[in-house]
Structures are given as structure tokens and as C-alpha cells.
Amino acid sequence: MDLRAFFELTADVSCLLAGAAAIVIALRARARASAERIAARAANEREALVLASARRTSDASRRSVRAVRDALCASLQDVAPAIDLLLFYERNDAGILACVDARGARAAFYAGAALETNSAAYGAMLRGHHLVLDASFLHPMDRAAVVIPLDDVPETAALIYVASASEQLFPSASLIAAIADQAAPAYRLAREREADRRRAEFDGLTGLLAPRAFRSRLAQLVERAERDARMRLALVFIDTDRFKAWNDTYGHASGDALLRRIAQTIRVCANGNDEIAARNGGDEFCAVFTETEKSKAIERADALRRAIANLDLAELTPDGAPATVHVTASIGIAAYPYDARTADDLLEAADAAMYRSKHEGRDRVSFYGVDGALRGASLAADPVAESADVG
């Protein structure tokens, strides 16, 4: 081969190599652009999923905490169908992180159970997102779990534990965390709204229904009774005897303790289906007995009277002072449909019956006879001399 042919061949090879290099560069650029488009599409899809879940949980926060949980669980299982265990933990009044909602095929063990302070999930609540990789966790079948705080304020701490018995959960772990992160504000807001409703609905001192909420519940029960001729209910009106004397003798703190003790006694007594207990104001209380004929309601009211009269109140006095003020209760009953057929009339009738007990000697139950006249079921001897105070 002459020199000219050699140079021509070399030039041709160089062109081929340059062309091949250009093709490789172009292919790499195309692959990079394709990967970027795929990544952008995935990022957009991820963002859309997170935003859709955020809208869903935000809307749910206007209804209830449970609605937020429903929305969050639906969103998580949409992106990770392998999820088969979802547990919601919240710090209760005793300061314990307890499971308030358990869902999934393996959730039966957890409803109401406390989260151990030395568990990884508890640590996750303190540290933020925590991906668990080992097999030994809350459930022996867990192979993957993500724990996300929904409220990291110590007093109101809450978290969600999401797990799967397969490793298919891992590719979605970051998306699960992002969705739960977006749901956290809605969860906190829903809890705050429910706490506000509870404060409005329940008396802060005794935990019983507040007057407005009680009247609403009573009206609902009467409406149900109007539709169901078989339904029976009795309204019990309770006024504490000598509460003023107790307050004057032992102080307001001891008086508050006494009201809480009486409220607890009433709550234990009114514990049947749909039965309710309320603080009507001051030292007055109300209860509703359901699925109870009038004669049985009178017996139950008298049992409540005896329970209040027999309370051991010595521990409620300051500095171990003897409980010389004997606290009892004057009780009145009005039954539906015998004595009244509306909620307001029941309250008025039961209140009138209570005053009959008060003025006939206290520590007794009064009710309406078949002739409409007030009668006393319990004429207990009062061991304490009557004073001018009828409180």
C-alpha cells in the first residue's frame, strides 16, 4: 500500500470513529434526556399524589379525626397496596402513647395497646421519619415499616405506623412518608377541633355532659321514642343535699372533689345503652335511663340515692378533717311517655319532683303516680338535723 492510500484509509477510519463517537454521544444524550423526562414525570406524578392526598385529608379535617384517618389510609394504600397494617397512636391523658385506631389484616392485637417507650416506633416519634428494615418489630410478620409523627408536640404526640409483611413496601417508603407528612397538619387540626367540641360538650370539672349538650341528647332520645312505641326512658334529676354546708366547711377545692365523686357515682349508675349523665349546673345533675320501665327506673334512682348517701367522703376533706357534713341527694323522676312527651316537659316534671324530695326531707326519690300526683319512693330517716339551708 502506497503512502497516499494509507493516509486515505486512516482518514476514513478516523471519520468512522468520529461518527461512532458522535452516535454514542447522541445516544447518551438521548438516554439522559429520556431519563430526565421519566424522572420529571415520576416527580410530577409523586407531587400530584401528595397534593391529592393533602386535599383529601384537608377536606376530611372539617369532619372528624376518623375521617382524616380514613383519607390517609386510602391514600397510602393507593400508592402501596402491600400495606397490611396501619396503626394510629396518640398520647392519652395518662401520658401513654396508646393505639387509638388499628387497621389491616394483622391489626387485631393492637387496638388500645400502649406503645413501649423502648420500642423503635417510640423512638421514631421523637426523631422524625424512621424506616425499619429488620424483621423483628411490632408484629412478628413485619418485614418493612415506616413510622411518621403526625404531631410531635410531647403533650399531644401522635404517630402512624405503616407496615407490610413483604418487602414491596420499601420502594414506596419515601412517598409514604411524604403523604403522611402532608396529612400531619390536617390531623392536628382535626384533633384540635374535636378537643374544642369536647370542651363545649362536656363539663370541665366532672367530665359529664354540659347542659346544652345534655338537652340536645335528651331531645334526640325523645324523638327516637316518638318513632318507636316500644321505647321507654326516664329522666332523673339529682340535687345534692347540703353541698353549700360542705363547701363552707371544707372549702371550694374539697367541694369540687365532692362534685367529681358524685358525678362518678352517677356515671356508674347510668351505664346502659344510650344512657347519659350530665351536670346541670352547680351541684345539680341529670341522668337518663333507657330501655327501663318506670317502676324499674324508680328502683334504680333509689339505688343511686343510697350510693350517694353511703359515699366515704373522709378522704375529700382537707388535712384529714372528719366529714361531719352528711351529704345526700334529693332525686326526682319523670318518665316518657307516662309523665311527659317532650324533652322540655320531662325536664320540668323531673325538676318539680326533685323539689318535692327536697322539701319533704331530702335524701329521697319522688315520682308521679298514675293519678299525676307526686309521691315518695324513699322516706329515709335523715340522721342529720335539718338546718335552714335546703341546698
CA 343 to CA 326: how far, in whole Å?
Answer: 33
The pLDDT value given to residue 111 = 77
| 213 in Cβ contact with 201 (< 8 Å) | yes
- Could you tell me which of 223, 191, 218 has the C-alpha nearest to residue 90? 191
Q: At how many degrees (to 10) do helices 3-60 and 173-201 cross? A: 10
CA 77 to CA 170: how far, in whole Å?
Answer: 13
Measured at the CA of 234, the angle between CA 229 and CA 238, to 5 degrees, comes to 165
At residue 390 the predicted structure's pLDDT band, cuts being 50, 70 and 90, is very low
At residue 318 the predicted structure's pLDDT band, cuts being 50, 70 and 90, is confident
Contacts for 298 with CB less than 8 Å, ≥ 6 apart: 234, 333, 365, 367, 377
Q: Averaged over 178-193, what is the pLDDT? A: 89
- Could you tell me which of 139, 199, 197 has the C-alpha nearest to residue 164? 139
| 283 in Cβ contact with 239 (< 8 Å) | yes
Measured at the CA of 200, the angle between CA 219 and CA 151, to 5 degrees, comes to 130
| 363 in Cβ contact with 329 (< 8 Å) | yes
Q: Which amino acid is it at 207?
A: G
The pLDDT value given to residue 93 = 77
The pLDDT value given to residue 6 = 53
161 - beta bridge partners?
87, 147
Cell of 170: 420499601
At residue 386 the predicted structure's pLDDT band, cuts being 50, 70 and 90, is very low
- β pairing state of 158-164 and 144-151: antiparallel
- Could you tell me which of 180, 146, 140, 181 has the C-alpha nearest to residue 163? 146
Half-sphere exposure of 210 (CA within 13 A, CB side): 11
The top-scoring range by mean pLDDT among 156-160, 257-261, 290-294 is 257-261
CA 272 to CA 289: how far, in whole Å?
Answer: 7
The pLDDT value given to residue 20 = 64
CA 307 to CA 301: how far, in whole Å?
Answer: 10
pTM given for the model:
0.59
At residue 52 the predicted structure's pLDDT band, cuts being 50, 70 and 90, is confident
Which range has the worst mean pLDDT, 78-92, 165-179, 217-231, 246-260? Answer: 165-179
Q: Which residues of 291-303 are buried (b: 16+ CB within 10 A; e: fewer)?
A: ebebeebbebbbe
38 or 170: which leads in pLDDT = 170
